[in-house]
Amino acid sequence: MPEAMSTILWGVLTFSILVVIHEGGHFLAARAFGVKVHEFMIGLPGPALRFKSRRSDTVFGITAIPLGGYVRIAGMEPGPEDELLAPALKTAAIAGRMDAGTLSSALGVDTARASALLVTLADWGVLEPATDDEVSYLATVSATDHTDAEALLADARAVTYRALSKPKRITVLVMGVLANLVTALLVFTVVLGVWGYYQHSLTLYDVQPDSAAEAAGLQAGDTIVALDGEPVGDWIELTTGLSERSPGDAVLIDFRRDGSDLSATAVLGASESGTPVLGVVSDLEHVDLSIGRAAIESVRMTGLVFQAIGRFFSPAHFQESVEGARSIVGITVEVAEAAGRGPLDYAWIVALLSLSLGVMNILPIPPLDGGKVAIEVIEGVSGRQLGRRFAVGVSISGAVLLFSLIGYLMYADVVRYFIER
C-alpha cells in the first residue's frame, strides 16, 4: 500500500475511534436519561451509509467524509423556547400535515418564524419531514380541538434535552470528556503495567568531546550520585541542579565507576543560548510498574496534559506551546508512524489523543462541551436563558478562535512534514 494512503487510513481509523469514544459518552448519558437521540454519525455531515436502530430509534452511520463525528440529541437548540410552540404543535397535530405557509396563516406570524417552529418540533420528534415534498411535515402525534396544547407540548418535551434538570444536562455534556479521560487512563495503565517505560538514567551513555565533563575525567558508563555534595535521585534532579548554576561555575561531581566511588570537579561550559552545560548524554533504563503504580503514573501523565494545554493561555508560553502542538495533519502522520512501530506505540498515541481531546473539550469556550457547560451554569445562576442570538454569537466567536488556531497549526504541520523534511 502506498505510504500516503496508509497514513490517511491510519488517521481516519484513529479519529473514528476517538469520535466513537467521545460521542458515545454523550449518547449513553442522553439515553440513560430517556432523551431521544436522532443520529450517531461518524464523519462530517453529508451523504452517508445509515441504519436505524429499532430499539432506540436512533440512526447510526458513517458519512462520505469520515473525519470527526457528532451525536444529534433532541432539544439542544440554543435560546429560550418560542411561546408559540404549543399552539403550533396542536395545529399541526390536528391537521396531520403542515407547512410553513399554512402555519404562518394559522398563527398570524411570518413564514420564517413558522418554519423555525416546525424545525424545532421536528427536532423534538413530534413532526417528521414528508417524503413526497420538501416543505411539508407529518405529525407523529394526534390532537383534537379539545386537546390541551400545553400538555401536548409537555409530552413532546419530556424526551428532549430541554426537559432535563441542570445537573443532568451538564452530565450529558461532560460525559464525552469523561469517556475520553477514562479511556486514556485505562490504556495508559494497561500499557505501563504490561510494558513499563524508559526513563533517563544517571548512568552516562556518552560524554561529549571538549566538554566540561570530559575535562573533569567523566566517562561513558559512570553513574552520577551527587552534585556539590547533594545526592541526586534522578536525571531531572541533576539537570535542575545544573540549570541553577552559571557557565564558568565549578561543580563537584560524585560518581560511581566499576563499583568505586569517585569525585571530580567540572567547570561548566555554555550553550549557544548562554545556559550552563556539563556535556553528558544520559543512558536509558527500563522501569517495570505494578498495575497500582501504573495507575498512579497514568493520573500523573493526565495532569501533565492539563498543564500543557493550559500553557496555550499563558502569553509567556503560547509560542512554545504552539510550536509543540500538532493539527490533524501532524497527528495523522505521527499516528501512522506509531502504528508502524507496533501495537503498543499505537495504543499509547490513541490514549494520548483521547486524553488531549477530552482536556480540550472541557475548556469553557463555545462551541466546545466546556463552553456549553459554562452557558448552562450561567443560565442556572442568573435564573433565565440566554437569548438565541447571543448564544449563537458566542458560539460563532469561539469557533472562529478555534478554527484560526487549527488553521495555523495545519499550516505549520504542512511546512514541518512536507516542506522541511
d(CA 117, CA 92): 11
User: 45 preceded by cis ω (within 30°)?
Assistant: no
Lowest mean pLDDT among 251-255, 308-312, 316-320: 316-320
Per DSSP, the residues of 338-382 read HHHH-HHHHHHHHHHHHHHHHHHHTSS-TTSHHHHHHHHHHHHHH
Pick from 216, 204, 173: nearest CA to 29: 173
3-state secondary structure (DSSP) of residue 73: strand
Mean pLDDT of 354-365: 84
Which of 375, 194, 205, 384 lies closest to 280 in space, CA to CA?
205
Q: What's the grid cell of residue 94?
A: 390536528
Contact call for residues 38 and 74 (beta carbons, < 8 A): yes
Torsional class of 383: left (φ above 0), alpha (ψ -120 to 50), beta (otherwise): left
The mean pLDDT value for 387-407 works out to: 75
The DSSP line for 130-143 is: -SS-SSEEEESS--
Task: Give residue for cell 455534556.
Answer: 173
What share of the chain has pLDDT > 90, as a percent?
49
Domains, the chain, with CATH or none:
3-68 (no CATH), 85-158 (1.10.10.10), 177-195+290-419 (no CATH), 198-287 (2.30.42.10)
User: Average per-residue pLDDT in the chain?
Assistant: 87
Q: pLDDT tens across 237-264, in order?
A: 999 899 899 999 999 999 999 999 999 9
Q: Is the per-residue pLDDT at 276 higher than 50?
A: yes
Most confident of 169-173, 313-317, 370-374: 169-173
Distance CA(202)–CA(237), nearest Å, equals 10
Lowest mean pLDDT among 102-111, 137-146, 373-382, 387-396: 387-396
Whether the predicted pLDDT of 36 surpasses 50: yes
> Which pLDDT score is estimated for 1?
45
Give pLDDT tens digits for 52-91.
888 888 999 998 887 778 899 999 988 889 999 999 999 9
